[in-house]
Every structure is written in C-alpha cells, then in structure tokens.
Amino acid sequence: MDIKSKPTVKMENTYSKILELSEKYKQYTAENLSKLIKIKSLSAQEKEVQLELVKQMKEAGFDEVRIDGLGNVIGRIGNGSKILAIDGHMDTVDIGNIANWTFDPLGGEIKDGFVHGRGSVDQEGGPAAFVTSGRILKELGFDKDLTIYFVGSVMEEDCDGLCWKYLIEEEGIKPDFVISTEPTNMGIYRGHRGRMEIHVSFYGVSSHGSAPERGKNAIYMASRAALEIEKLNDKLKSDNFLGKGSVTISEFVSGSPSLCAVADFARLHLDRRLTWGETKESAIKEIEEIVAGMNAKVEILDYSEKAYTGLEYGMEKYYPTWKLEENHQLVQTGIASYTKLFGSKPRVDKWTFSTNAVTITGMYGIPTIGFGPGNEILAHAPNEKVAIDDLVKATAFYTAFAYEISL
C-alpha cells in the first residue's frame, strides 16, 4: 500500500462527502453523546450506558452489534480480510466534589458549541463520533476489503487494557491496527508511558509506647524508604519522545496493636510511570535496593473484579510502555487521512496518561494510534465538556481512515 500516493478524483469526492455528512450529522452526534452522559457509568457499572450504545449502533445501521462476556459492546461494519478496531471506553470516573461544577455533570447539556458533562472528554465523545462514522460508512456504501470493529469497552478507568486482554484472549479479536479515541485535542498520538502499581510492605515489632526501644517501628522503616523513593524519582531515565519515568507515593497506611504501641506494620502504595526502556523488573529492582536490609516486601498488585455481566476477570497491574515511530505505516496513514480531509498537517504527539493501548500495543504488539475529541486536561476534572466541532472532526477522521487504510 502506497500511502503517499495522491488520491484519485473519486477519493477526493469521497472525502468531500465525508466532511459534508459529518457536518450534516453534528447535532445527531451531539445528541447521542448527551444521551450517554446522562447515564452514570462507573467502572463495572456500565450496563445501562452499554445498552444505549447498542441502540445507537443499531439505529446507525451497523452490520452486527453484540455484547461480549465482559460487557464490551462490539459493532461491526464490513467483512474484509484486514481488521481495523476503533476503541473507546464507556466507563467514567465519579463526579467528585459537586461544588466544583458550574453545571450538572450528568445533564448532557448541549450549549454554546459544547456538550457538557462527565465523560464528554474521557471518553464517551469518541464512541459518539464513531457511531456517526459507522452511519456515514453505511450511507456511502463502504465496500473495501476491511472489517471494522467499533468497540465500546468497559472497566478502563479501573484497569487499563483489561477489556482488550479479554477481547484478544477470550473473544479471539486480534485487529491488524487500532485507533484509540481517547482525547488527543485533535492531534495524532503515537505512544505514552507505561505504569505499574506497587505495594511496599514493612514488618516491625510492636512494644508498649512507653518503651519504644523494645520494638521496631515499621513506620520509621517506611519513612526512611519514602525519602529514598523521593530521591529515586529525580534519577529515573528519560526518553526524547515519551519523557521521564516517575515514581510517587500515593498512599501510606500503618497498623499497630494500639495507639499506645509501636507500629508493627506500614505500607506504601507507589504509582510508577515507566518511560521507554524501563520494565517491571527494573522498577521492582530499584525499590528492592532501597529496602534492602529491612524486613520489607515489594510486590506488583493484581486486579480482579466482577464486570456488570457477573464475570470476574483480572490481570497484573503492570501496563507496558509503548510507542510507534513517526514513520510507522499506521501513523503515516493517520497523517494522510487528516491532511487530505482538512488541508493541513496534524500535530503528532503523545498522551500524558495511560490508555487501553498498554495491552493492545504494549502486550500484544498491535499497532495503535490515537485520535479523539476533547482536551485531555479536562479528563477527570470538573466542568468537563467537549466541542461539537471536535466531534465532527473525529467523525470525519474515523470515516476517512477506513478508506485510507484500504488503499
């Protein structure tokens, strides 16, 4: 496939039609998103929003729509030999302090060129746009040698990539390439740092608080380690594209037989962000070296929870680093799609946070790019809202990409 070749007159006409239809259906897209926002959908509680997404896909004329055992919605268009998946997670974080919002976070208000509410950016805006993209593909009579799976995935906020571990290992869906619709502020993203969650547990010996010298205080051990972990953060390696690795303590808990006793247990929870070249083995070794000589245990956490379907599923809480080079075919196809649609070059960048691509690309090696409506700085923040123009642009991009990758 020569992705640098000039489009034929027919393709130019197709791209013009895609832009026209994406604009024509902008209210339809905004209203679909509004319906999704109005349904609270925390991780493992997505049932009602998934049923709404199924309804929207069916109304858009998808060839097939189903819900898998974990609760992911899978819509299909086409039946070609190559497989493209377009992913967007349907779970959101909670509202937080309602006093920080100036509008109803579950109102789905459409006003002043925006759709307002929790999940508008992170990240139901992407799925709302790809539903419209599916409608346009059907209207245009898309008949290329391509199968497109539009996936409304679950439980991402609790465990990035778990949904795709299930799709690949249990459903047998292994795409040739993937678009993540996480917010990119309308740029094309080609990677992000990995992450892992680590517990460091310290075991001391209790004694009466009136004679602390008789015991061994686990809090003091943990505190000494904490200060070294703070120093470690400054020394972690960096990558020219992904940036620096990081580590921070996000929780400190302790235990004691009494408030009049020396603490015999303490635990640190570490949020470790991994840049290129860092692995779970290297990250664990760094912490083990800090606690060497202490009665301490370093371990990676596991995630195992019941989905709304009742299925319990899990994975280790290690989410690998990934990136594609800018000259990668998938990145270049994205750039070509954007340029032919909008007449300018896109910004090519990376996410600060983590996405489902930790498993899609990081574990299974399936190339992924990101393109999604909204600015990631509004993810998990109060007053979350997405521009309707972003939804229109994303709709057009997903549609055009299906044609471009088929050339």
For residues 39 and 303, give the distance between their C-alpha atoms in angstroms, rounded to a whole number. 25
DSSP per residue, 199-266: EEEEE-B--BTT-GGGSB-HHHHHHHHHHHHHHHHHH--EETTTEE-EEEEEEEEEE-S-TTB---EE
CB atoms < 10 A from the CB of 329, how many?
13
For residues 160 and 359, give the distance between their C-alpha atoms in angstroms, rounded to a whole number. 8
Core vs surface per residue 28-44: b (16+ CB within 10 A) or e: bbbbbbbbbbbbbbbbb
Find, among 258, 94, 247, 74, the residue nearest to 171 by Cα. Answer: 74
Distance, C-alpha 267 to centroid of its chain: 28
Tell me if residue 176 is catalytic: no
DSSP tag of 5: S
Catalytic residue among 52, 87, 91, 122: 91
* 141 backbone φψ class: left, alpha, beta (φ>0; ψ -120 to 50): left
Amino acid at 63: D
Tell me if residue 145 is catalytic: no
Amino acid at 161: G
Catalytic residue among 87, 122, 156, 390: 156
Residues listed for the chain: 407
How would you class 331 by CB atoms within 10 Å of its CB: exposed for 0-12, middle for 13-18, buried for 19 or more? Answer: buried
DSSP tag of 109: -
For residues 205 and 215, give the distance between their C-alpha atoms in angstroms, rounded to a whole number. 5
Could you tell me what percentage of the chain is helix, strand and coil, using 3-state DSSP and rounding each to the nearest 5? 35, 25, 40
The SS3 of residue 24 is helix
* Catalytically annotated residues: 91, 156
